């Protein structure tokens, strides 16, 4: 008989199962029963943690975004740090970005939420990562700190996400360089 999971291990198993069901079936056919079956547990175990299907979907998406957070590069230049991070996102996260956007349209419509609420960098831990990356650039004198608004810091990554969602494919490297060199860097220097 398998060992009984508890606490964080059980929660991770439930959230991983929820993400798998969501990516396999989409939000419209996402059910708590399917998650319980895939996780090998019971409905009361799940409902003690999340009150309903939508709470579970939100938790599964945020869990997956936190788990998929990338390391912050430190190449010695802002341009290369941003490009390195964008290239890593581009090569490893296209499916994640596509699933989050396409499978959750009904979720957003039904719950009255926006996609930005599930990508909140404060919730997913991405804000701290970007603060480190941009803090190094400020310390090196590459950027003026007063120009680094939250919108400007997220701009290259927002444009990357937009490019991915218009093609559902990785973005050519010359486009990443164009985003950084002609749009982003002129705004922070």
**Residue 180, domain member (yes or no):** yes
Considering the domain architecture, whether residues 128 and 149 belong to the same structural domain is answered as yes
**Residue 115, domain member (yes or no):** yes
Considering the domain architecture, whether residues 51 and 80 belong to the same structural domain is answered as no
Each residue of 44-93: pLDDT tens digit?
999 999 999 999 999 999 899 888 888 899 999 999 999 999 999 999 88
Q: Domain range spanning residue 39? A: 7-63
For 115, how many CA atoms within 13 A lie in the half-sphere containing its CB? 14
**Residue 1, domain member (yes or no):** no
Considering the domain architecture, whether residues 25 and 91 belong to the same structural domain is answered as no
Secondary structure string (H, E, C) spanning 75-94 = CCCHHHHHHHHHHHHHHHCH
**Residue 2, domain member (yes or no):** no
State the pLDDT at residue 125: 65
The Cα 146–Cα 129 span in angstroms is 19
């Amino acid at each position: 008989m398998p060992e009984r999971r508890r606490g964080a291990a059980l929660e991770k198993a439930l959230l991983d199962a929820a993400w798998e069901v969501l990516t396999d079936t989409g939000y419209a056919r996402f059910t708590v029963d399917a998650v319980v079956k895939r996780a090998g547990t019971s409905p009361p175990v799940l409902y003690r943690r999340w009150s309903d299907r939508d709470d579970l979907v939100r938790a599964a998406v945020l869990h997956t975004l936190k788990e998929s957070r990338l390391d912050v590069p430190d190449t010695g230049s802002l341009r290369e740090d941003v490009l390195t991070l964008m290239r890593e996102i581009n090569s490893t996260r296209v499916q994640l970005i596509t699933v989050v956007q396409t499978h959750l349209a009904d979720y957003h419509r039904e719950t009255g939420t926006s996609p930005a609420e599930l990508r909140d960098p404060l919730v997913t831990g991405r804000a701290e990562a970007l603060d480190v990356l941009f803090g190094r650039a400020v310390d090196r004198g590459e950027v003026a700190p007063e120009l680094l608004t939250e919108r400007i810091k997220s701009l290259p990554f927002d444009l990357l996400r937009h490019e991915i969602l218009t093609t559902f494919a990785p973005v050519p490297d010359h486009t990443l360089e164009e985003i950084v060199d002609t749009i982003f860097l002129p705004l922070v220097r």
